[in-house]
Amino acid sequence: MLSLLAREWRVLRADRLLGGLTLLFCLLAAYGIFNGQQYRAFQLRTIESLRTEESGRLDSLDGVMRRLEAGDSIRISPAQDPRSPAVAGRSVATRWLVFEPSPLSALAVGQSDLQPYFVRVATTTRQTAIVNEEIDNPVALLVGRLDMAFVVITLF
């Protein structure tokens, strides 16, 4: 058995294509990891900007509500009155539902570029949700992202 393995190892070493393929595989794996890390960093930046926007909007709403409770005569149309549940659920008091990327998500981006990782929770219909989602190039979505999982599963 040992002599068979030694013979196979000699045959593999004699084949010059193996070194090139190993180098190509390592380069693709490194690029897959780099690409996954870049996409995860992009997701984290997007989530942080969503949280900043949400906290600023809700803080502003809190100030308006305090002024209204104090009896301040702010000119607010009924369509923009934050005390109305319909208005609050449609626009001013909506929240972002976020699916945080895990630390290992950089290795397997998968279809996370196709499936939204954040959505605005509101009382509006689903047809209006397309405005709040990220729009990307369809050709880039069709091709997908090269990640470590694709390199290992498909190319190895």
pLDDT for position 135: 66
Quote the tokens at residue 150.
């694709």
- Taken in order 151, 152, 153, 155, the sign of the CA dihedral is positive
Q: Say if CB 96 and CB 117 are below 8 A apart.
A: no
71: alpha, beta or left? (left if phi > 0; alpha if psi -120 to 50): left
Domain range for 115: 2-155
More confident residue, 130 or 74: 74
Q: What is the DSSP string of 100-131?
A: PPPGGGGT--TTTTTS-SEEEE-SS-GGGGGG
Nearest in space to 51 (alpha carbons), one of 63, 39, 43: 43
Q: Is the pLDDT of residue 27 over 90?
A: yes
What average pLDDT score do residues 40-61 get? 92
More confident residue, 47 or 154: 47
Domain count, the chain: 1
What average pLDDT score do residues 60-81 get? 78
pLDDT for position 133: 62
Our CA dihedral for 53, 83, 120, 126, rounded to 10 degrees, sits at -150
Residue the block writes with tokens 């694709």: 150
pLDDT for position 60: 86
Percentage above 70 pLDDT, the chain? 92
Q: Is the pLDDT of residue 121 over 80?
A: yes
Cβ neighbour number for residue 125 with a 10 Å cutoff: 7
